[in-house]
Amino acid sequence: MSALVIVIQMILAGMFSLSSLMKLKRTPSMVRHWNEYRYPMWFLTLTGLGELAGVVTLLAGFRFPTLLPYVGMFLIALMLGAIHAHLFRAKHRPVMTVNAVLMLALSVIMIAATR
């Protein structure tokens, strides 16, 4: 496994750990955003659990690198959903999608680098 893939795994695991915790703890900023997206609160919990599953799979990818393309595809789907929620559901300014776009790009690079 290349150093690039390892660094990307660590960045993605860190970012999704933080995001997952914020969703599962229902921090005020996350609840406010979720209300702007007009999604039900149970979907906040489900998304947080999905992100947590992604983190666990990213960490398992250190031992089982064949998991990385699959978790990468899952994270891409999550980030496309996040971009959609920001731009179309909440009508946020595009700058609000920077983090999601970065995580999307890193997921794509991770998949490409594991082939």
pLDDT digits (tens, 9 = 90+) for 25-73: 999 999 999 999 999 999 999 999 999 999 999 999 999 999 999 999 9
Q: What is the chain's mean pLDDT, rounded?
A: 96
Task: Report residue 94's pLDDT band, with 50, 70 and 90 as the boundaries.
Answer: very high
Q: Count how many residues are written for the chain.
A: 115
- 20-26 long-range contacts, CB within 8 A, separation 24+: 20/48, 20/49, 20/51, 20/52, 20/55, 21/48, 22/48, 23/47, 23/48, 23/51, 24/48, 24/49, 24/52
pTM above 0.85, yes or no: yes
| Token pair 């929620």 in the structure block, residue | 85
